[in-house]
Amino acid sequence: MKAKHKLEANSYVVMSTDGYYDQFGGQTDSKYLISRFEELILRSELDKSNTAETFEKEISNWKGKQKQTDDILVAGFRI
C-alpha cells in the first residue's frame, strides 16, 4: 500500500501491525478496535514522557487473562 502524506515539523508518526487493535479483552472479551487505538495515540502524544510504557500497559490491561492473538508491533517517531 502506497500513501503520501505531507508531514510538518513536530508531526507524530505511528505505525503498527493490526495485532494491537485486533486483540481480544476488556469486560466483554471484544476486540480493542482501531478507534480505541487512535484515541490512545492521541492521548500518548500529549504525554510524551512514557509513550512505550503507555502502550504496553494499555494492551496488557485490555488483554487481561486472554492470550495474545497476533503479533503486536507499534513504532512511533516525531519529525
pLDDT digits (tens, 9 = 90+) for 10-32: 888 899 999 999 999 999 999 99
| CA quadruple 34, 60, 44, 18: dihedral, nearest 10 | -30
pLDDT digits (tens, 9 = 90+) for 22-75: 999 999 999 999 999 999 998 887 766 678 889 999 999 999 999 999 999 999
The pLDDT of residue 50 is: 76
The pLDDT of residue 69 is: 93
The pLDDT of residue 2 is: 83
Three-state DSSP state, 46: helix
